[in-house]
A and B are shown apart, each in its own frame.
Chain A
């Protein structure tokens, strides 16, 4: 049979029944668009929740010198001098699951600026420290790698320090504050983070290059600890294992020796994160599944009904010489045209709905390629199948019965 003719027949049949074709298409359009939009919204929500929890530091890994026993007496870990610059450099170079890593040394004392003074502690840190602790520079700059190399006398301070040392509201940037005998030039101010869940003031902070704190203030060669952040919550455990292996090697520990350091993670936070993410992923899968199911059933119904109501037309076509196969091919072409067109419109509609939500409502929206492909595939295949299935039945009908069908 001449397929060009059948294609023309199918096109004409569609053109003469624009409303029916459109309604059928609508089922597919809505199916595809709703799946894409729901998944994109869900994914956006998931990502923003993930970000919120991450900002609480759920992927932070803290390494402290471990308590060592000497003659049955456990020593204060802070007295231990096991974490050295070489350890830090080895970790920095070798760890694959670690996104940022910074040494940590702290000195407590009185800060003085002009007439004002305030008791606090100066944290010696690397450049990654603000990334690990999710701090943001509000004003000025962070110190640089070369500041660390030269043990520069610079610092970045938190809001509480600004309020106490500069009560008159003058710009702290550029002024010099003194810690014991060491003058520190303020080069940056941190954005306020408020109190944390333990009631600690997170703005009561002074950051200086760790070399400055170690050499100029404490005159030591070891760190109080090392802070690191894992690439993401779910690899925190791998990162921990990696750090343990590297540190044990660096510290030349035998297999039988216990660790001479401690690694702590925000287990509770990251557990919460994982539970929440699992819940959200399940929710998303459910939404996608239900949307597809509903869309599929809609398509199925309208396809089935539209073929059934055309039984008489099928009878007529057969009486003027259409063979079963001609009828089947015609309906299949119609179903493919409707499904594919509907699917494409659905994708466009879904994507524009996502963008509209993103820019008008300012919601986080992430369009997922897999959801586009999945919804298109499911809806078009359903459309084609339920166009083909009743058409096959119709094609096998006796023309006499089809003509008499009311």
Chain B
């Protein structure tokens, strides 16, 4: 039995909007073990963003317990959660969220800048390794405004890898990209998965579920499906079958 990276125990999250209480999550429980590639799917309003925020320690549940790498999160202060995010979580956002006019290396170094235990030479080394891992070894000094969407997303993935996190959280990571680039990014995620990374990929695109090892579907704050994918497709193969863009 491998390590449980994430344990959710009956998570509820209520928001108060005016006089009304909105129940975004109504008791969600699941565990994710190390090395899984999980897609969390659902239509908008299903609670998947709220779930992602809680998984990413950006938000705390109203009730229930969340253990990240064995650490209970619910009772933590804001600062403690910030440190936890810094050490245990890598985020990949839909709109990349890179620092403007900043080189790829500096963008990737960013999480390590907030970790005083890491020296500047170590920081540099790890950032370059992460960039090599996402296939941007030759674009280390390119600035974020000199890169394509796919390249920016690779930088963002390198940034998510650089602190060697327990889990990588991707929020619609292919949402802003065209089909071919989306599959390139998916290939990268599958490759990371093969190397043993734990990945949670939140999306509303049902196709992506074919490429992950497990699929969780949410509706109205409940889990309606939690299934292991027995027939994982290879993003690389799909990519090859794609017609080449006429524009290319």
Contact = CB atoms under 8 A, between A and B. Distances in A.
Interface stretch (A229-237, A320-328, A352-360): A320-328
B78 A323 contact: yes
B113 A8 contact: yes
A16 to B, nearest CB: 5
Given A16-B99, A16-B102, A321 B82 contact: yes
A17 interface: yes
B159 interface: yes
Nearest to B159: A320
A173 interface: no
Given A12-B102, A400-B59, A403-B97, A323 B79 contact: yes
Given A12-B106, A312-B97, A319 B56 contact: yes
Interface string A309-340: 00011011111111111100000000000000
A86 to B, nearest CB: 85
B82 A322 contact: yes
Given A9-B113, A316-B99, A400-B53, A324 B87 contact: no
B97 A321 contact: no
B96 to A, nearest CB: 10
A180 interface: no
B30 interface: no
A2 interface: yes
Interface in A346-404: 398-400, 403
B100 A5 contact: no
Contacts, number: 70
B59 A320 contact: no
A326 B86 CA distance: 13
B187 interface: no
Given A16-B101, A399-B58, A319 B85 contact: yes
B91 interface: yes
Nearest to B83: A321
Contacts of B113: 5, 8-9
Contact of A400 (B58, B82, B97, B99): B58
Given A12-B102, A17-B101, A312-B97, A321 B58 contact: no
A319 B114 CA distance: 11
A322 to B, nearest CB: 5
Interface residues of B, number: 27
A321 B114 contact: yes
Contact of B82 (A2, A9, A313, A323): A323
A187 to B, nearest CB: 79
Interface residues of A, number: 26
A73 interface: no
A308 to B, nearest CB: 16
Given A5-B113, A9-B113, A324 B59 contact: no
A80 B104 CA distance: 100
Contact of B111 (A320, A398, A403): A320
Contact of B110 (A2, A17, A320, A323): A320
A1 interface: yes
Interface in B53-108: 53, 56, 58-59, 78-79, 82-83, 85-87, 91, 93, 97, 99-102, 106
B202 to A, nearest CB: 14
A321 B101 contact: no
Contacts of A403: 93, 97
Contacts of B102: 12, 16
Contact of B91 (A5, A320, A326, A398): A320
Contacts of B163: 320-321
Nearest to A19: B101
B82 A318 contact: yes
Contacts of A323: 78-79, 82-83, 114
A317 B86 CA distance: 10
Contacts of A313: 99-100
A326 B114 contact: yes
B116 interface: yes
A1 B59 contact: no
Given A5-B116, A16-B99, A317 B53 contact: no
B116 A319 contact: no
B191 to A, nearest CB: 22
B116 A321 contact: no
B79 A324 contact: yes
Nearest to A18: B101
Contacts of A400: 53, 58-59
A321 B86 contact: yes
B79 A321 contact: no
A318 B83 CA distance: 10
A306 to B, nearest CB: 13
A16 B100 CA distance: 8
B200 to A, nearest CB: 15
B221 to A, nearest CB: 17
B149 to A, nearest CB: 17
Contacts of A324: 78-79, 82
Contacts of B229: none
5 tightest A-B CB contacts, nearest first: A321-B86, A2-B116, A320-B111, A323-B82, A323-B79
Interface of B: 53, 56, 58-59, 78-79, 82-83, 85-87, 91, 93, 97, 99-102, 106, 110-111, 113-116, 159, 163
6 contacts: A16-B101, A16-B102, A313-B99, A316-B99, A326-B82, A400-B53
